Amino acid sequence: MKLRIAYLYPDLLNIYGDRGNVLTLFRRCQWRGIAVEIDYLDLGSSIDADRYDLYFMGGGQDTQQARVCEDLQQVKKESLLVAAQNQAVFLTVCGGYQLLGHYYKPHEGPELRGLSLIDAHTVAGHKRHIGNIVIERTSALTGNLETVVGFENHSGLTYLGKAVSPLGQVKTGSGNNGEDATEGVAQGNIYGTYLHGSLLPKNPALADELLFKALSRGHAQEQVKSALIPLEDALESMAHQRALLLKA
Ligand code: GLN
C-alpha cells in the first residue's frame, strides 16, 4: 500500500508550522508500514492529475498568495480540478484554504481568483483573528463527536455557500468569520481550515480520517481499515488535552 502526497508551494505557503501536517501524515503512515511518497510542487511545476492521493497547501501572507494565485490559474488549476473529481483529498490551511473558494479580496490590490473547488469566498476584514481555537465536529470516520484544536491568525473572513459543510462549529475562537460560528470546510474529500499549529499533530483522529479517505482512493476500504491500525497516540492526546485548556 502506498500514499502519494503532493505538497503544493512548500516554500511560499508554510507559516506557523503548517509543514507539520505533511510530516504527521508521513509518520502516521510510516508507523503502520504504509509507503509514502511526497512530491514538492512549487511555482511552475505541472501536476499529473491522477498521480496523487492527497494535496496539501499551507498558509501564507497576501503577497505569497498573489504569486500562488497566478500559478494556480496559469499552471495547476485544470489538473487540480480533475484530481478533485477523482476523489483526491485536499487539506488546505488559511491562505491555501482561501484560494479553494471563488476568490480572496485582500485589503490592497486586486481580487485573487480561487479554484472554485468549494462554494465560498473570502474578504479581508479590519481585525486580525489571532489566538487558540477549539472546534467541535462529527468524525467522518467514526461518527463520533470530536474536538479539533489549533491556532488561528488571519484577517480574511470566509463565507460558505448554503450547500457547503463547515469542518466544524467554533467552541472558542473566531473560525471562518467570527460571525456564524463555522470553521473551515469539509466537503467530500475537500478540507480547509484556519487552524495552524500545525493542525494534525494534536488532532490524530482528523489525521487518520484524511489518511483513510486518501488511501481509499486506490485501495479497497476493508484493506485500508486493516492497514490503519490504531496508534498509541498518548503524546498526541496529551497535547490535545493541554490545548483544550488554553483560552482563545
Ligand atoms: N493573508 C491571509 C489572511 O490574513 C491568510 C493568512 C494566513 O495564511 N495565516 O487572512
Q: What is the pLDDT of residue 15?
A: 86
Question: Region 44-50: what's the mean pLDDT?
Answer: 97
Ligand 1 atom closest to Cα of residue 97: 8
Contact 47, 83 (CB under 8 A): yes
What are the Cα distances from residue 43, in Å, to 40, 64, 130, 247?
10, 11, 29, 38
Which class for 96: exposed (0-12), middle (13-18), buried (19 or more C-beta within 10 A)? Answer: buried
Q: Over the stretch 102-152, which tens digit does the pLDDT of each residue have?
A: 999 999 999 999 999 999 999 999 999 999 999 999 999 999 999 999 999
Question: Region 76-94: what's the mean pLDDT?
Answer: 98
Whether 155 lines ligand 1, by a CB cut-off of 6 Å, is yes
196 assigned to active site: yes
Residue identified by cell 508554510 is 14
| pTM beyond 0.85 | yes
Q: What is the pLDDT of residue 16?
A: 87
154 assigned to active site: no
CA of 97 to the centre of ligand 1 (A): 9
| Predicted confidence (pLDDT) at residue 248 exceeds the cutoff of 80 | no
CA of 51 to the centre of ligand 1 (A): 29
Mean pLDDT of the chain: 97
Ligand 1 atom closest to Cα of residue 60: 8
Smallest CA separation from ligand 1 atom 2, residue? 95
Q: Over the stretch 160-182, which tens digit does the pLDDT of each residue have?
A: 999 899 999 999 999 999 999 99
Q: What is the pLDDT of residue 67?
A: 97
User: 24 falls in which pLDDT band (50, 70, 90)?
Assistant: very high
Which class for 30: exposed (0-12), middle (13-18), buried (19 or more C-beta within 10 A)? Answer: exposed
What's the grid cell of residue 142?
A: 467514526
| Predicted confidence (pLDDT) at residue 159 exceeds the cutoff of 70 | yes
Percent of the chain with pLDDT over 90: 96
Choosing from 94, 121, 129, 240, which is the catalytic residue?
A: 94
Q: Are strands 103-105 and 112-113 parallel, antiparallel or unpaired?
A: antiparallel
User: 97 falls in which pLDDT band (50, 70, 90)?
Assistant: very high
User: 2 falls in which pLDDT band (50, 70, 90)?
Assistant: very high
Choosing from 121, 129, 154, 196, which is the catalytic residue?
A: 196
